[in-house]
Amino acid sequence: QVQLVESGGGLVQTGGSLRLSCAASGSIFSIRFMGWYRQAPGKQRELVAGITDGGRTNYADSAKGRFTISRDNAKNTVYLQMNSLKPEDTAVYYCYANIITTQTLGAMSGYWGQGTQVTVSS
């Protein structure tokens, strides 16, 4: 019984910034990984940035130097600060998390948020 809810998407001009948030709720024991994926029309969903419970991060090459992922463990929330946005960043951004629930200790499952639209105009 886990839900991920994203927020913070919207329409910005090239060079602008957005901050995405994803809050996980439910019977959570631990969140081992949280990340942001994006999917543009007609394209495969791709990892943009991810962060482990140990604080290790990974970024897509296109995001390096512009995006920063962080998490607030107390709030079960992950953030994606996106700066210097480009039109090619336009996509639906999805939050994903690998979570061990209190009902299934020792077993990890993946969960997806509903997605939030990010549109960058020139």
- Whether the pLDDT of residue 105 is over 80: the answer is no
Whole-number pLDDT of residue 79: 98
Whole-number pLDDT of residue 72: 94
- The beta-strand segments (E) located in the chain are 2-7, 10-13, 18-26, 28-39, 46-52, 57-59, 67-72, 77-82, 91-101, 108-112, 116-121
Whole-number pLDDT of residue 104: 78
Whole-number pLDDT of residue 49: 98
The CA distance from 81 to 15, in Å, is 13
Per-residue pLDDT reduced to its tens digit, 38-82: 999 999 999 999 999 999 999 999 999 999 999 998 999 999 999
Give the CA radius of gyration of the chain: 14
Average pLDDT, the chain: 96
Report CA torsion sign: 120, 7, 100, 50.
positive
DSSP 42: T
Q: What is the mean pLDDT of residues 24-45?
A: 96
Whole-number pLDDT of residue 1: 81
Continuous segment of H or E residues that includes residue 17: none
